[in-house]
Amino acid sequence: MCSSLPHWHIRQYIVWGCLYMSVITLNSLQYESGNVFLNDLRHEFRPVTGNGSQNISPILFSSSNHFVSCEDLGGVGSFNTTCLLNTNLSLYSDFYISGTGNLEILPHVVICCPIEGCTITLNMSGNIKVSHHAGVVAGSVVFFAANLTMEYNSYINTTSLGGAPPSQTSGTPFGYDGSGGGHGGRGASCFKSNQTSNWGGDVYAWSTLSEPWSYGSKGGGISDEKPYGGLGGGRVKLIIVGVLYLNGSILAEGGDGGSRGGGGSGGSIFVHAVKLRGSGTISAAGGKGWGGGGGGRISLDCYSIQEDIKVTVHGGISIGCSGNAGAAGTYFNADLLSLRVGNDNLTTETETPLLDFSTSPLWSNVFVENNAKALVPLLWTRVQVRGQITLYSGGSIVFGLSEFPISEFELVAEELLMSDSIITVFGALRVFVKMLLMWNSKILVDGGRNTFVTASVLEVRNLVVLKQNSSISSNSNLGMYGQGLLHLIGEGDTIKGQRLSLSLFYNITVGTGSLLQAPLDEDDSRSLVTKAMCDSDVCPLDLLTPPDDCHFNYTLSFSLQICRVEDLIVNGIIKGSIIQIHRARTVIVNSNGMITASELGCDEGIGKGNYSNGAGSGAGHGGRGGSGYFNGWVSNGGEEYGNAALPCELGSGAEGPDHFDTPVAGGGMIVMGSIQWPLLTLKIFGSLTADGQSFLKVMSNDNSSMIGGHGGGSGGTILLFLQELELFRNSSITVVGGNGGSLGGGGGGVEVLATKVVVMGEKAQ
């Protein structure tokens, strides 16, 4: 076991020391026979064991006999003044010393108990010093001291020496597929399945996150002959009254399972000190194996921590699936009440479950970083912190289970910060923050297209910024509320939803190359929004007199609503089937900007274009669609419909042959302002469009001969309630019908005026 030490020259001392003790126990006569090598080692290691030996006088320990002197251990001085240990100790049982003085372990001296779960406790009222290249090795190591100094290349090492994990836990995986053990993070599994998610050993000891004291778990084996892989990491507890100077290593890592077993999971490390100084390492990483072990748990209860200290709980490397390391463990700052889950940029598909979050007191911050994947699996979970929730460098959080996208999850914080990261939600998400900043990041909400799943709501009071290809998308209702600024910076920045409502911001800016869109691109998504209006010629009341409170649900007609926004500046694209902008002050569509409902109306509709014997006609709306002709057959265009004085209809589509599955849709609808609350100013340097779709393909059979024509979709509606309209050079407002294909009729607006633009207000320029 001692071979797990990180320094090769110390490793040799301890391996031979442990061998020396094994030889003494198995055959004491060999020790007395004059073996030169073992006799030399007698002066290097002084055995301390709970088992008697007739040839060496052991120090016997029991629950009532912990009184051992410094001299008994080959040291100089006293535990009540200062004890200098200058002799290696190899132990076979738990070891405990205490005193009111100081303890110094001199250079290259090692105290080793290479037994799983063996405990070494040093309880000193004064200071403890572990000199350079000195160390303590055991399953559990406990220090109590006024101050602790660990010099360079010193170590406390419990790697691969963990005892039994808590009862009724499943940290060691079942089966013989060489999966990694779990603890703070799940162990990795290299078993592939397209139907289910797989992992190795599961997590445990979440309830003791702030003061962990559990062993790591063994990795899985590959057969009855080799049922286990690497061993779990041990435990370290350091209770320091003053300062811990760390320039060495504190290790509780999982054991290496090799290519024929999973890695063990990391163990537990708890440090209490006023100050933590130095440039050393604290690690409860998972062990390497066929499937990597999960990381362990670390908690640091220190008022001040020097940034040079490296703390790591990453999962172990998976030999059998290099892109799926063990899941990261947890690093908790018990003084700041912050949780950090990081995988040191080891890529993984294995998750770290985060269970119930503390409500009293609230945690301050949560960080998911460096390719760690966190999972919040509980239904109807509230994740609330006082400060930041931060994801960066490939970090991700998954809320819910893909098989059951029916739950609601609440995320409450001062700030939600994302960089190169992803949040995935199965169900509905409610976010309440002051600031949402996204850089090359995504928030994906999958409601399973269930109509009974409630809307997702992001309430961001001060600032929302999406930059560098960031996106927020939902396949169900999505609402965003705020009192400040919503800014999509540039190319690839997107907010999409089945229905989308943006309200109460004082400014929304859609940058060049950015997109606001509802519904989604799929035809089924569009049909869900437009179906009610495509089947009826009655104008929905909520489009003419929308509710003042900006609420949204499936009963309202819009697909994309912008409500109670002072200023809307469009340099990119706003795209939707039914776009409604009301209770706004100023809308500016700049030269690169576009607000469009083109090709997002009805697939059929009241004025649908007809198809008969190869002749396809265009759809109608404000006027009849164009007729189609083929081989002497004539198909009349779609009928005119709607109210020319107060238009409120979607454009109609055009039908084609039964086997032709590509629909040709009419234009959608754009409504700005309302009867009660007209828009103050609309400035257009770019374009407003609600055009019908054109048919651009050639209709032919298998031998490439033409089989007829297909009509175009009719234009939609643009209805503007304005006080002032300003149109600038090269700007446009269009609701034209789509072109028909070869031999097909045009949509309404191509051959006759079939669409409507109505401006109602005081002044137009």
Angle at 357 between CA 354 and CA 359, to 5 degrees: 180
Residue 512: what are its φ and ψ, rounded to 5°?
-60, 125
Confidence of residue 614 (pLDDT cuts 50, 70, 90): confident
Does 14 have pLDDT greater than 50? no
Confidence of residue 175 (pLDDT cuts 50, 70, 90): confident
Q: Are 557 and 543 in contact (CB under 8 A)?
A: yes
Does 367 have pLDDT greater than 60? yes
Give me the mean pLDDT over the 448-476 stretch: 89
- Residue 433 CA to chain centroid, in angstroms? 17
Does 708 have pLDDT greater than 70? no
Say which residue the tokens 């403890």 belong to: 128
Region of 583 on the Ramachandran plot (φ > 0 left; ψ -120 to 50 alpha; else beta): left
SS (H, E, C) 203-226: CCCHHHCCCCCCCCCCCECCCCCC
pLDDT digits 0-9 by tens, 490-509: 999 999 999 999 999 999 99
Cα separations in angstroms, 492 against 419, 440, 523, 600: 15, 9, 22, 21
Does 553 have pLDDT greater than 80? no
**In this predicted structure, which of 50-64, 144-158, 168-182, 391-405 has the lowest mean pLDDT?**
50-64
The amino acid that residue 192 corresponds to is K
Ranges of beta strands (E only) in 176-289 are 235-240, 243-246, 249-251, 268-278, 281-283
Provide the b/e sequence for 5-33 (b: ≥16 CB within 10 Å). Answer: bbbeebeebbbbbbbbbeebeeeeeebee
**How far apart, in whole angstroms, are the C-alpha atoms of residue 130 and residue 106?**
7
**How far apart, in whole angstroms, are the C-alpha atoms of residue 247 and residue 155?**
9
The amino acid that residue 694 corresponds to is S
How many CB atoms neighbour CB 400 within 10 A? 26
Per DSSP, helices labelled H in 27-66 are 28-32, 36-42
pLDDT digits 0-9 by tens, 400-451: 988 888 888 999 999 999 999 999 999 999 999 999 999 999 999 998 766 5
Confidence of residue 545 (pLDDT cuts 50, 70, 90): confident
Spatial CA neighbour of 534 closest among 661, 652, 663: 652
Confidence of residue 268 (pLDDT cuts 50, 70, 90): very high
Residue 86 burial (10 A CB sphere; 0-12, 13-18, 19+): middle
Query: Domain extents for the chain?
Result: 1-131, 158-362
Q: Are 508 and 567 in contact (CB under 8 A)?
A: yes
The amino acid that residue 318 corresponds to is S
Q: Are 282 and 253 in contact (CB under 8 A)?
A: no
pLDDT digits 0-9 by tens, 618-652: 899 988 888 877 777 788 888 999 888 888 999 99
Structure tokens at 80: 């009540």
- Within 8 A by CB and 6+ apart from 673, the residues are 581, 582, 584, 679, 720, 721, 722, 761
pLDDT score at 448 = 79
**How far apart, in whole angstroms, are the C-alpha atoms of residue 217 and residue 198?**
18
Residue 337 burial (10 A CB sphere; 0-12, 13-18, 19+): middle
Q: What sign has the CA pseudo-torsion 11, 17, 20, 24?
A: negative
Give me the mean pLDDT over the 736-743 stretch: 77
Half-sphere exposure of 417 (CA within 13 A, CB side): 13
Check residue 539 and report its DSSP letter. P
Give me the mean pLDDT over the 697-714 stretch: 67
The amino acid that residue 22 corresponds to is S
Confidence of residue 754 (pLDDT cuts 50, 70, 90): very low
Ranges of beta strands (E only) in 482-513 are 485-488, 494-503, 507-510
Structure tokens at 423: 């949040």
Q: Three-class SS of residue 453?
A: coil
CA dihedral 403, 406, 407, 413 (to 10 degrees): 90
Per DSSP, helices labelled H in 293-440 are none
The amino acid that residue 445 corresponds to is V
Q: Are 232 and 200 in contact (CB under 8 A)?
A: no
R_g (Cα) of the chain, nearest Å:
36
**How far apart, in whole angstroms, are the C-alpha atoms of residue 298 and residue 269?**
5
Check residue 540 and report its DSSP letter. P
Q: Are 751 and 740 in contact (CB under 8 A)?
A: no
Structure tokens at 110: 């090692």
Give me the mean pLDDT over the 662-683 stretch: 91
pLDDT digits 0-9 by tens, 557-588: 899 999 999 999 999 999 999 999 999 999 99
pLDDT digits 0-9 by tens, 203-233: 999 999 999 999 999 999 988 888 899 999 9
Say which residue the tokens 């779709």 belong to: 693
Confidence of residue 264 (pLDDT cuts 50, 70, 90): very high
Give me the chain's average pLDDT, please: 86
**How far apart, in whole angstroms, are the C-alpha atoms of residue 606 and residue 412?**
47
pLDDT score at 2 = 47
pLDDT score at 417 = 98
pLDDT digits 0-9 by tens, 106-124: 999 999 999 999 999 999 9
Record the pTM.
Answer: 0.87
Most confident of 344-348, 520-524, 709-713: 344-348
pLDDT digits 0-9 by tens, 294-333: 999 999 999 999 999 999 999 999 999 999 999 999 999 9
